Chain A
Amino acid sequence: MSDDRIIGKRMPRKEDARLLTGRGTFVDDVVLPGMLHVAFVRSTIARGRIRSLDVSQARDLPGVLAVLTAEDLDPFNVKLLSFFFVAPMAVPVPLLARHTVAHVGEPVAMVVAQDRYIAEDAASLVTVVYEEEEPVVSLADARRSAPIHAGMESNVAAVMGLEKDENLEEALASAPYLLTRTVRHQRISQSPMETRGVVATKQGDELLIYVTCQSPHLVSRYVSLALDRPELSVRIIAKDVGGAFGLKNHPWREEMSVIVGSVLLGRPLKWIEDRWENLVAANQAREQEMTVRVAFDRTGKLLASHCDYHLNNGAYPQGAEANIAVQMFIWAAYKIPQFGFLTRGWHTNTIGNGAYRGPWGMESLARETLLDIAARELGIDPIEIRRRNLITAADQPCTTLMGMPLEDITPAECLDKLLEVVDIPAFRAEQSAARMAGRHTGLGLAVYIEPTGAAGQMAPMTGETAHLRIEPTGKVTALMSTHSQGHGTQSTMAQVIADQLGVAYEDVTVFEGDSSRGGFGPGAAGSRQGVIGGGACRRAAALLKDKVKRVAAHILEADPDKVSLESGRVVVAGAADKTRTLRQIAEIAYGEPARLPPGTESGLEAQYRYDPPPVTFTSAAHACVVEIDADTGFVKIKRWVSCEDCGTIINPAIVEGQIAGGLAQAIGCVLLEEAGYDARGNPLAVTYKDYLLPAISDVPDFEYLHACTPSKSEGGFRGVGEGGAIIGPPTLINAIADALAPFGEVPLDLPLTPVKILEVIEGRSLRGTNGTTTATTQQEVGCPAPSAPQAPPAAPVVSSAGIIDGSWNMVLATPMGPQKVVGRFTTEGEVLKGVLESDQGSQDFSGTVTGNRLKWEMKVTKPIPITLKYDLSVEGGKLAGKLKMGLFGSANVTGARA
């Protein structure tokens, strides 16, 4: 890479000048004339009915404008959609609680006052009388309890993979070596340093909303859909966002309540979440259990695996979630002949599940820790066991069992590169010596792949847009659909643009953060902005560069192929006298259109919406060394090396910053953080005294290696935002397990507190009550048992046509949430013909009819190419059955006549 390339350089960030001097604009910095302040009254119990709600005293407090309840906001008919713009069918989410509360912290009333102090005073005067009910809190509770939500059959929020695969069970049962472990992950609070917040005002038919978010464009689309008021223009502004990590993907109950409140009251309203609210009432993530069975042969080759996964969805998740992505990625980078799963999300009386950096991270956590355990038990080197099973360059292109095409993953190569700087034999020698001296050091490593830059398969995951212009001044302006919450996209996108247009980095200005500029993008969700935003910048810059060349060639009477852009100038090869500044060319392009090539649009503006390949994989291998204090069970991280293949790097400092931030969160996950509940559903960590975030003393100096295999996407970029948070935890756990191997196995039960670690060392329980719970053996209530295909009932006398023909409103319980489709069926004897219509279009099909049973197959290409197999029956005028989605398992289908 030549020295004057801007790509690949540690350019200082453009954001820093304002952020270092306190001149950023975060949502709480926004002040509008006449603005009022909101505080919420929140449920103090986890479950119950609201018997009475008395706001009169609060309303009478001087300085209070209004105290709003569900009654006031419900007429707006707001639909709280998921990230995929789907409204929850089974469990609609209210803005403010109506007659029941389903978790501690649920917003019950909204006080609007002249300042936040008075608003909180008033909130404390609202009297709510509850009729408390027995809360369902843990996953174990959810499995054995009656449903917490009316109208549901059980607490299952989402389920996939119900059908038992007899072949798989046989393979597992007959395996030479079968490893079974249950991995438990605690509930995590994303806890960005800036909490949620919103300022909303209605100005005529214009809704102006300042909100701390991950994409103003996505929020704008969300608000439009949620409010369904097409006459309103919605503008979302977010200049600076203090971190998000998945919490701020889209507005939720409080934000929408404030927006609706501002419309209702006709006044600008501000709500800034305080930290107590953030730890109690903001959606959280990651409370999971997974029982993994992995079969190996005696040489450590993978034969088969099954996962039984549970995710605590809370009462009102941001989209009912069984986290199918865990199953899609757990063995994706490894060669494995057979795999199956059962994955369930459960409702409980706790705060709802939301996204957190690398939401499917359990896949790497479980896999990499179990591989080490298997290696230990089989007497195989942990690196060897990986080498025997990893997909290498020579194995690609290939397709995973779950149907994902792989062509350029490099986990094995990252591992090789990592081992060039991590001398394992030397470490083992040191470790032996240390053990003799009573010191316990350990080394752990982990390998993974991560899907990044996803686009084109799911509603919000579009391409990204760059609107570029070379101004008449010769400077470059870019309006991006990307949005930074610390990602530095104002800088990285400027680097890409400057590199392409041959201008100085300082001469490129990137604007983001306003839905009135640029185009739709989902923002930082799924490590995508570098890949897709970078690609958009390159393509738009290419268009612009081409135009500059054509225009300059015409004006200068030169051959366009001899024109190039460098250092802010337009240069003609072999004609030094024809050199012009970009400004000179731009002034002509805007101000003297008559001098342009005939038919050329004046100005120098170009726009490109880039759609990358469906997914771009990033691979990595990490290693860390720990020392464990045998007296206290404290873990000290001595060294951490990351080898990431994130393709072409735009700015190494920013890439390393993303990795480091993710690794710090990984360290927090493994050792420190826990947002838990007591048996009554009361949150246990309501301040930072109890929710322990990693501090500077918890993180080592990270070392970085970069394997830079350019990706197939424009520019060769790969995403890096979530990686550290996914690969970090197993790397650290493996190091701890290695250190404690002489004492015993480390339980896969996060967080690994000093108590749990000391228990392994002492070889006895240090907890009064039995700390770790074994999987419940109690009867699971209401969860449909895996079913074998049943023989159809005897055909009734009524003709099939009469029962089936016509239009049906159907709901498919897919991984993305419930999908509404309309099915129109026509039967002729045993032949079924029909069409399925949805928002995404319509598709014809044909199949078979037997009595009241209809079956057909359809091939689809999104999210991946699979064959969908429908098997439905009509009974009592209702349609019901299953949709088998390849290895995704089955989804329930229900329908009623349209």
Chain B
Amino acid sequence: MSEHRIELTLNGDRHQATVEGRKTLCDFLRADMGCTGVHIGCEHGVCGACTVIVDGLAVRSCLMLAVQVDGCEVTTVEGLTGSDGALHPVQQALRDEHGLQCGFCTPGIVMTLAALTQASGQTYADSLLEAMSGHVCRCTGYQGIRRAALELAASTEPNKA
């Protein structure tokens, strides 16, 4: 089985590592990089708990191999909070709207919303809600998640910038 040297930028810091070919990105981030905020809910790409941002796009880290992020920029939930500890607007919106209970699915949802709202221009409620269909939450019934998504969409409207 092959082993590979990789270099990546993770949450703004440059790292190097040696990984087995078969090691998944989520296992690499959790075990090798200490990003335990990346949660493993299903390991087959349905629940979305493991979502991270790779080169600007929200992806399911259980469906990528670690070796595939060689040369990439990866952001996990740990990379969203400001250095002063301030919550990212997505995190704040979820908090304000009581969008979490056990918190296990939460980092994945945070990363999808962060990826979509950091893209330039307006973020439409439709696209945020559609992206939320790629996340499973067993606790909240999605009520606060929906409200947070709508609030985030409203806050990116041009006249509210």
Binding site for B on A (CB under 8 A): 10, 12-13, 15-26, 28-29, 117, 191-195, 240-243, 245, 272, 274-275, 484-488, 653-654, 656-657, 660-665, 687-689, 693-697, 699, 701-702, 724
Q: A20-B106, A660-B143 are in contact. Are A193 and B101 (CB under 8 A)?
A: no
**A28, A656, A694: the one within 8 Å of B40 (CB):** A28
Is there an interface contact between B138 and A21, defined as CB atoms closer than 8 Å? no
Is there an interface contact between A695 and B87, defined as CB atoms closer than 8 Å? no
In the complex, what residues of A have CB within 8 A of residue B145's CB? Answer: 696
Instruction: Give a binary string over B77-98; 1 marks a CB under 8 Å from any A CB, 0 the rest.
Output: 1101100000100010011101
- Bound state CA distance, A28 and B23, in angstroms? 17
A-B contact pairs, 19 of them (CB 8 A): A10-B98, A16-B95, A17-B95, A20-B103, A192-B104, A193-B105, A193-B136, A193-B139, A194-B39, A274-B43, A275-B47, A486-B102, A487-B101, A654-B98, A657-B98, A687-B46, A696-B132, A696-B133, A696-B135
In the complex, what residues of A have CB within 8 A of residue B136's CB? Answer: 193, 688, 693, 695
**A13, A26, A117, A699: the one within 8 Å of B141 (CB):** A699
Q: A20-B94, A26-B104, A702-B143 are in contact. Are A695 and B138 (CB under 8 A)?
A: no
B94, chain A: closest CB distance, angstroms:
6
**A191, A192, A701: the one within 8 Å of B102 (CB):** A192
Q: A488-B101, A688-B42 are in contact. Are A696 and B142 (CB under 8 A)?
A: yes
Q: A17-B87, A29-B36, A695-B133 are in contact. List 9 more A-B contacts (CB 8 A).
A: A22-B76, A117-B22, A192-B104, A193-B102, A193-B137, A661-B138, A664-B142, A693-B136, A699-B142
Q: How many A-B residue pairs have CB under 8 A?
A: 168
Q: A657-B98, A697-B133, A699-B142 are in contact. Are A24 and B103 (CB under 8 A)?
A: yes
Is there an interface contact between A22 and B77, defined as CB atoms closer than 8 Å? yes
B129 within 8 A of partner (CB)? yes
A282, chain B: closest CB distance, angstroms:
14
A797, chain B: closest CB distance, angstroms:
67
A721, chain B: closest CB distance, angstroms:
11
A511, chain B: closest CB distance, angstroms:
17
In the complex, what residues of A have CB within 8 A of residue B81's CB? Answer: 21
B56 within 8 A of partner (CB)? no
B21, chain A: closest CB distance, angstroms:
11
Q: A243-B138, A656-B143 are in contact. Are A275 and B41 (CB under 8 A)?
A: yes
**A28, A486, A660: the one within 8 Å of B103 (CB):** A486
A105, chain B: closest CB distance, angstroms:
17
A40, chain B: closest CB distance, angstroms:
16
Q: A275-B42, A688-B136 are in contact. Are A22 and B36 (CB under 8 A)?
A: yes
In the complex, what residues of A have CB within 8 A of residue B107's CB? Answer: 22
Is there an interface contact between B98 and A193, defined as CB atoms closer than 8 Å? no
Is there an interface contact between B77 and A12, defined as CB atoms closer than 8 Å? no
Q: A20-B91, A243-B139 are in contact. Are A687 and B42 (CB under 8 A)?
A: yes
Interchain residue pairs A-B with the least CB separation, the first 7: A22-B37, A19-B103, A242-B104, A486-B102, A660-B141, A486-B101, A664-B141
In the complex, what residues of B have CB within 8 A of residue A696's CB? Answer: 129, 132-133, 135, 142, 145-146
B54, chain A: closest CB distance, angstroms:
17
Q: Which residue of B lies closest to A691 (CB)?
A: B46
Is there an interface contact between B49 and A21, defined as CB atoms closer than 8 Å? no
Q: Which residue of B lies closest to A663 (CB)?
A: B141
In the complex, what residues of A have CB within 8 A of residue B98's CB? Answer: 10, 13, 653-654, 656-657
Is there an interface contact between B110 and A20, defined as CB atoms closer than 8 Å? yes
Is there an interface contact between B140 and A12, defined as CB atoms closer than 8 Å? no
Q: Which residue of B lies closest to A23 (CB)?
A: B37
Is there an interface contact between B77 and A657, defined as CB atoms closer than 8 Å? no
Is there an interface contact between A21 and B139, defined as CB atoms closer than 8 Å? no
In the complex, what residues of B have CB within 8 A of residue A13's CB? Answer: 95, 98
Is there an interface contact between B139 and A486, defined as CB atoms closer than 8 Å? yes
Q: Which residue of B lies closest to A698 (CB)?
A: B142
In the complex, what residues of A have CB within 8 A of residue B137's CB? Answer: 193
- Bound state CA distance, A390 and B132, in angstroms? 41
- Bound state CA distance, A508 and B43, in angstroms? 38
Is there an interface contact between B77 and A21, defined as CB atoms closer than 8 Å? yes
- Bound state CA distance, A486 and B22, in angstroms? 34
In the complex, what residues of A have CB within 8 A of residue B140's CB? Answer: 657, 660-661, 664
Q: Which residue of B lies closest to A244 (CB)?
A: B102
- Bound state CA distance, A241 and B101, in angstroms? 10
- Bound state CA distance, A28 and B37, in angstroms? 11
B38 within 8 A of partner (CB)? yes
Is there an interface contact between B39 and A242, defined as CB atoms closer than 8 Å? yes
A354, chain B: closest CB distance, angstroms:
16
Q: A12-B96, A16-B100, A695-B133 are in contact. Are A689 and B39 (CB under 8 A)?
A: no
In the complex, what residues of A have CB within 8 A of residue B133's CB? Answer: 695-697
- Bound state CA distance, A659 and B10, in angstroms? 39
- Bound state CA distance, A240 and B140, in angstroms? 16
